[in-house]
Amino acid sequence: MKTITLSHGSGGTLMHDLIKDLFIKNLNNPFLNKLGDAALINLRANKLAYTTDSFVVKPLFFPGGDIGKLSVCGTVNDLAVSGAIPEYLSCSMIVEDGFSYASLEKITISIRDTCKSAGVNIVTGDFKVVEKGAIDGIFINTSGIGEVFKNSNMSISRIRPGDKIIISGTIGDHAASILLAREELKFKARILSDCSPLNKLVSSIICRGIKFMRDPTRGGLATTLNEISLASDYNIAIEEKNIPIKESVRVLCEILGFDPLYMANEGKLIAIVSKDSAGSILSKMKKHSLGKDARIIGEVKKEKNKKVYLKTQSGGLRILDMITGEQLPRIC
Amino acid sequence: MKYIDEFRNLDIAEKLYRLIDEEAKDLRQVNFMEVCGTHTMAVERFGIRRLLPENVKLISGPGCPVCVTPKDYIDKAIALTAIDDIIVFSFGDMLKVPGTNSSLLKQRPSGKVKVVYSAMDAAMFAENNKDKRIVFLGIGFETTVPTVAASIKYAKKKKLKNFFVYSGHKIMPPAMKLLARDKHVNIKGFLCPAHVSAIIGVKSYNEISRKYNIPCVIAGFEPLDILQSILMLVRQVRSKKAKVENQYNRVVKASGNIRALRLIEEVFSIKDSEWRGIGVIPKSGLILSKRYADFDIENNINLQEPKTSVDKGCICGSVLKGIKTPLDCRLFFKKCNPNNPYGACMVSSEGTCAAYYRYRK
Amino acid sequence: MCLAIPMKVLKINGDRATVSSGGIQRTIGINFLKGPKIGDYVIVHAGFAIEKLDTVKAEETLKILEELQ
């Protein structure tokens, strides 16, 4: 089995061949092809969004995606929810000595396909190999820049009581797919990660009515709403019956004692929007394939205790805290 | 989800809240105790407490098996991970419980601790990995005990020499009897645990209800089950009766599950057991029977007495009995919180203190 | 302490069965059940069915609850 060795990272012919045969071949674009120390980019914009993220997911391959797809979507989505059009990405990989070449190729092809689907390019990159045991398999870092939409005017400080909260689709899919892919729980289900680039969805809805957006990744919907509540000072109230969730994800959570509100999503966004624009933003979202399950789930309240409240499906009221640590399967 | 969503119906829930309100109106303060972690979680998750009338108080008793596991059990389990060929398998619930110096969660990156959904998975792993010794942490009440017993029996059938159980299992009725006797706790009714009851039936509660004159209702876990059961308790209190009623009769049979009970009897024996925060309760714990001694890790390895620290200031014991609330504890919130738990009541996500932290903060 | 949900029996093979709910499937032990049949709803906890769900009694309970004034 062909593997990546320390020599592939040492700057010699093996590395140059790898870059040519794997990265340039698949990620091919005028910037990357120059193989300069930096990509030289002409910018028209006076306001840019700039973000970075690192990806260490295990397992590397899961139903609906892999670390490659995730590394592109993560950065594209951070730019998109910041009201920007993602355009240029960097990609750095750190790989463990002995890592399978076939896996690296599969991951690179995933990056290629996801870039195509999002309409972005990897314009600069880096590749390092470390000794066995120094890391687990592969870590990827991506960063990205994009021009901010002219009609984007998003800021936490714009959030007001009465603003509506929209989620673009079902919650918990990504975390559920990872749980199942880890296999030791021995459940079978067709749950796919929702890992997707959201920039085109955002393009279709961007307008001044959107006060703020965020993608609820680690920690899930509840954590993101807490972050927003803390930063804006206002309480947030949502209703369980309005939260979209796939039946299979719901059942898995019931069996294992997980709370879907705290489970990661990789292809969803939360938008805080003005009351008047909520209806039209929702219908625009629903027209897009990544927003067909979008719902208004709640609103911003005038009280300032910085708490997030959930009205449960059987009428009770629950406070949604920040999660402390990882959720684990329970019997109790 | 069939047979779950119907029992979460909003309109019926609102009706039940109204009826509880009306029928409890002329009652003096009543404390109803639930003794099941899953009930504690359900009450918290469905936001039930906030909608009950002021004079109907739901107390959480020692129903969280994780919360009542003594600290030295955790210390010994962690010590097992240090032994070369041993891998410790556990239910997820146990991982975050603080031992003296560490927790099983902190040992997990080493690969010596694995989380499973079923004890059977641990037994099957042992079957397929004969070069390792597998120790399963047997924690849980009567609902879980038969599943562990079945896994041990499987290991015996397959003649496995590398599968062991470290039993920390406990049984519920002796703890309920202790609490029923305690004048401080002043329980006016028990919400009896749904699935423990599916295994043990109603017999144990008959004794408690009769001897201590306390109403008992076996309650399911869905909001309508819990609310209907609270209403049934209120009605018993009003009519000054004390009997055992089975609200969860769609699952619980009066005789319990005979096969499960037989298996428990075959694989386990009863012994005295220490409940963290409460002390030793006679005949409340389970140890592997002589016939299955080969699978008992305590017979096969000398689990040295670790230097277990004492929890100063922690009043988990009183909280577990329902005598004090987390708000009475001077460690609560500032020193003891989900990020830095002192006692088990805070560690376990269904522990009373953890539930209060989430609900009151 | 008993996280468990009702799941439907799809297949039986000795003392193991495949159960399903909402598209989630698992193989579990049915050692504690007397004469389980395909189509039965069983309560699944920690990889075993601990009891059958009596669907008739379930409907009765719901009816009582619906008829409360």
pLDDT, tens only, C7-51 = 999 999 999 999 999 999 999 999 999 999 999 999 999 999 999
A133-151 confidence digits (pLDDT tens): 999 999 999 999 999 999 8
| A190 and B CB contact within 8 Å | no
pLDDT above 90: percentage of residues in chain A: 89
Q: pLDDT tier at B360 (50, 70, 90 boundaries)?
A: low
| C10 and B CB contact within 8 Å | no
A90-105 confidence digits (pLDDT tens): 999 999 999 999 999 9
d(CA B71, CA B277): 10
Q: Which residues of C touch A252 (CB under 8 A)?
A: 24
Among B37, B117, B250, whose Cβ lies nearest the Cβ of C61?
A: B250
- For strands A138-148 and A84-96, give the pairing: antiparallel
Assigned token pair, C12 = 């039986």
Q: What is the mean pLDDT of residues A17-30?
A: 95
B143 to C1: CB separation less than 8 angstroms, yes or no? yes
> How confident is the model at residue C1, as a pLDDT?
47
| A63 and C CB contact within 8 Å | no
Please name the residue that has the structure tokens 């386990």. Answer: B268
| A330 and B CB contact within 8 Å | yes
- Same domain (yes/no): B138, B1: yes
- Same domain (yes/no): B297, B320: no
| B69 and C CB contact within 8 Å | no
For residue B177, count other CB atoms closer than 10 A to its CB: 17
Interface probe with C: pick from A188, A191, A192, A245, most Cβ of C within 10 Å: A188
- Same domain (yes/no): B288, B321: no
What's the domain range around B41? Answer: 1-312
Cis geometry, peptide bond prior to residue A59 (ω within 30 degrees of 0): yes
d(CA B166, CA B88): 10
Q: Which residues of C touch A172 (CB under 8 A)?
A: none
> How confident is the model at residue B359, as a pLDDT?
63
| B263 and C CB contact within 8 Å | yes
| B37 and C CB contact within 8 Å | yes
Interface probe with B: pick from A230, A314, A317, A321, most Cβ of B within 10 Å: A314
CA B341 to chain C, closest CA, distance in angstroms equals: 21
CA A246 to chain B, closest CA, distance in angstroms equals: 11
Cα separation values, A269 from A22, A66, A295, B224, Å? 33, 20, 11, 33
> Regarding the domain delimited by C5-67, which CATH topology (the fold level of the hierarchy) does it fall under?
SH3 type barrels. (2.30.30)
Domains of chain A: 6-148 (3.30.1330.10), 156-320 (3.90.650.10)
A199-235 confidence digits (pLDDT tens): 999 999 999 999 999 999 999 999 999 999 999 999 9
Round the average pLDDT of chain A to a whole number and report it.
Answer: 95
User: Percent helix, strand and coil across chain C, each rounded to 5?
Assistant: 20, 45, 35
| A2 and C CB contact within 8 Å | no
d(CA C45, CA C64): 27
Task: Find, among B268, B204, B214, the residue nearest to B237 by Cα.
Answer: B214
| A325 and B CB contact within 8 Å | yes
Measured in whole angstroms, the distance separating CA A15 from the mean position of its chain's CA atoms is: 30
User: pLDDT at residue A302 above 50?
Assistant: yes
Among A247, A316, A330, whose Cβ lies nearest the Cβ of B92?
A: A330
Backbone φ and ψ for B254, nearest 5 degrees, come out as: -55, -35
B13-22 confidence digits (pLDDT tens): 999 999 999 9
Angle at A320 between CA B2 and CA B357, to 5 degrees: 115
- Same domain (yes/no): B82, B161: yes
B251 to C5: CB separation less than 8 angstroms, yes or no? no
Who contacts B97 (Cβ-Cβ below 8 Å, separation ≥6)?
A: B66, B69, B74, B103, B104, B344, B347, B348
- Same domain (yes/no): B8, B85: yes
Among C41, C47, C61, whose Cβ lies nearest the Cβ of B117?
A: C47
Q: Is B287 left (phi over 0), alpha (psi -120 to 50) or beta?
A: beta
- Same domain (yes/no): B308, B320: no
Backbone φ and ψ for B269, nearest 5 degrees, come out as: -125, 155
| C22 and A CB contact within 8 Å | yes
B320-343 confidence digits (pLDDT tens): 777 888 888 999 888 888 877 887
CA C14 to chain B, closest CA, distance in angstroms equals: 14
Q: Can you state the angle between helices B37-45 and B223-238, rounded to 10 degrees?
A: 110
Q: Specify whether the CB–CB gap between A46 and A142 falls below 8 A.
A: no
Q: Find the CATH number of the domain harbouring B122.
A: 3.40.50.11750
- Same domain (yes/no): B33, B67: yes
Round the average pLDDT of chain B to a whole number and report it.
Answer: 92
> How confident is the model at residue B344, as a pLDDT?
72
User: pLDDT at residue B34 above 80?
Assistant: yes
Q: Which residue has the higher pLDDT, A29 or B47?
A: A29
Backbone φ and ψ for A10, nearest 5 degrees, come out as: -95, 5
A325 to B350: CB separation less than 8 angstroms, yes or no? no
Assigned token pair, A60 = 């590397």
Q: Which residue has the higher pLDDT, B123 or B71?
A: B123
Task: Find, among A249, B138, B118, the residue nearest to C45 by Cα.
Answer: B118
- Same domain (yes/no): B230, B322: no
- Same domain (yes/no): B232, B340: no
- Same domain (yes/no): B142, B161: yes
Measured in whole angstroms, the distance separating CA B311 from the mean position of its chain's CA atoms is: 21
Sign of CA dihedral A172, A178, A184, A186: positive
What total number of domains does chain B contain?
Answer: 2
- Model-level ipTM above the cut of 0.85: yes
Domain boundaries, chain C: 5-67
B73-96 confidence digits (pLDDT tens): 999 999 999 999 999 999 998 888
Cα separation values, A268 from A171, A241, A262, A292, B19, Å? 8, 18, 14, 11, 41
Sign of CA dihedral A148, A152, A154, A158: positive
> How confident is the model at residue B354, as a pLDDT?
82
Nearest CA in chain A to B147: A331
Q: Which residues of A touch B121 (CB under 8 A)?
A: 184, 186
B117 to A256: CB separation less than 8 angstroms, yes or no? yes
pLDDT above 70: percentage of residues in chain B: 98
Q: Can you state the angle between helices B173-181 and B203-212, rounded to 10 degrees?
A: 10
Helix (H), strand (E) at residue A210: strand A210-214
Q: What is the pTM of this model?
A: 0.92
Give me the total of CB pairs closer than 8 Å, taking one residue from chain A and one from chain B.
102
- Same domain (yes/no): B89, B39: yes
- Same domain (yes/no): B328, B207: no
Task: Find, among B329, B295, B327, B294, the residue nearest to B311 by Cα.
Answer: B329
DSSP at A251: H
Chain B, residues 298-317, CB within 8 A of chain C, namely none
Assigned token pair, B245 = 């009623």
A171-190 confidence digits (pLDDT tens): 999 999 999 988 688 999 99
| C12 and B CB contact within 8 Å | no
Instruction: Kindly list the partner chains of chain A, i.e. chains with 3 or more CB atom pairs below 8 Å.
Output: B, C
For residue A50, count other CB atoms closer than 10 A to its CB: 12
Backbone φ and ψ for B121, nearest 5 degrees, come out as: -65, -35
C23 to A332: CB separation less than 8 angstroms, yes or no? no
Nearest CA in chain B to C24: B1
C24 to A248: CB separation less than 8 angstroms, yes or no? yes
d(CA A254, CA A272): 29
A254 to B38: CB separation less than 8 angstroms, yes or no? no
- B128-132, B336-340, B344-348, C2-6, range with the lowest pLDDT: B344-348
| C44 and A CB contact within 8 Å | yes
